[in-house]
Amino acid sequence: MSGIPVGISACLLGKEVRHDGGHKHSRFCTKVLSHHFDFQPVCPELEAGLGVPRPAIHIRRFGDDLKLIESKGDTDHTPAMQAAIDRLLPELSQLRGYILMAKSPSCGMERIKIHSEQGQVQDRDGRGLFAAALMKRYPLMPVEEEGRLNDPLLRENFIERVFVYDDWLRLEAEGLDRQGLIAFHTRHKFQLMAHCEKTYRELGRLLADLKAAPLSQIAERYIQDLMAAMTKRISRGSHMNVMQHLLGYLSERLPQADRTTLVEQIEAYHRGEVPLVVPMTLLKMAQRREPVDYLAVQDYLTPYPDELGLRNSV
């Protein structure tokens, strides 16, 4: 595998598959993320046989049903789209994440217009038919819209979740056992603490007795709660708390001047004066100089490749 397999709306890779024959090329995806992700492009509307170019479509509500209807007409493409969804979804189980095109009646993750039977806008809180089916079928999979990746916090959160989910699926593929589950939790415990200390404590208790229930049940609850917690944004205060924990493991090995500098930069980050990369770089340098075995396995220190530069902006 050359990179982590991640699904993506085909138009974001510059493929001219939109209804007007155009694309929505994302240079961040093709120039940055493509060095680490093995993108698997999908255009649900093409898969449904709608062709290029094609009439614009939107979602209409008929009672409890949502249907994909041509914007200027009454042609119903719902059966074709549903057939495409049924065919595509089983092929996506190996993906570690998905990047969707916003505002699309097939791929939009949120804020999609829902129309009445007559075609008037009723509300704007819908989800594209393919996106809804994808997220229902794979609720643990990190999913994000390309436009939201312009937000540094959302971008960092999504990519962090992709790497955690990849680690989990590789663990499952190798054969999940008690030792593997504990090792996984150990790698990600400080990430979890940063995202949600409550879940961190709950999952610690869950893993304290791995004989209380079948391992498969414990693992299912564990990964569901972990991935849900990982969607929560990390506050500066939470990052500071975790970094102070890490410093506690290192402090006895560090010269006083180095400890003082680290404390100052952690506090400067908390005040918003420097980005996260500053105190994290100092922590990693301290760990390299005076290695602590327990910290060497912590993914919190390097949750994704440094060259992505994600912590430069958070």
Q: Cα angle vertex 257, ends 255, 262, to 5°?
A: 100
Residues 114 and 48 in one domain: yes
> pLDDT at position 2, please?
67
Residues 61 and 124 in one domain: yes
Last residue of a domain, one of 182, 206, 230: 230
Is the pTM above the cut of 0.95?
Answer: yes
End-to-end Cα, the chain, rounded Å:
30
CB 125 within 8 A of CB 171: no
Alpha-carbon span 276 to 165, nearest angstrom: 23
The 8-class DSSP code of residue 70 comes to E
> pLDDT at position 73, please?
86
Q: How many domains does the chain have?
A: 3
Last residue of a domain, one of 203, 230, 257: 230
Last residue of a domain, one of 150, 177, 205: 150
Helix (H, G, I), strand (E, B) or coil at 296: helix
Residue 7 bridge partners (DSSP): 40, 98
> pLDDT at position 165, please?
98
Alpha-carbon span 10 to 6, nearest angstrom: 12
- Break the chain down into helix, strand, coil percent, rounded to 5: 55, 15, 35
Residues 257 and 307 in one domain: yes
Residues 124 and 163 in one domain: no
Low-confidence ranges of the chain (pLDDT < 70): 1-2
Residues 131 and 16 in one domain: yes
Residues 74 and 167 in one domain: no
CB 106 within 8 A of CB 51: no
Residues 10 and 138 in one domain: yes
Residues 28 and 145 in one domain: yes
Residues 69 and 158 in one domain: no
Residue 65 bridge partners (DSSP): 62
Q: Single out the residue of 215, 266, 214 nearest to residue 245, CA to CA.
A: 266
CB 239 within 8 A of CB 274: no
128: containing domain: 4-150
Residues 140 and 66 in one domain: yes
Alpha-carbon span 110 to 103, nearest angstrom: 8
Residues 146 and 23 in one domain: yes
Q: pLDDT, tens digit, for every residue of 89-140?
A: 999 999 999 999 999 999 999 999 999 999 999 999 999 999 999 999 999 9
> pLDDT at position 1, please?
45
The 8-class DSSP code of residue 276 comes to T
Residues 123 and 18 in one domain: yes
The 8-class DSSP code of residue 115 comes to E
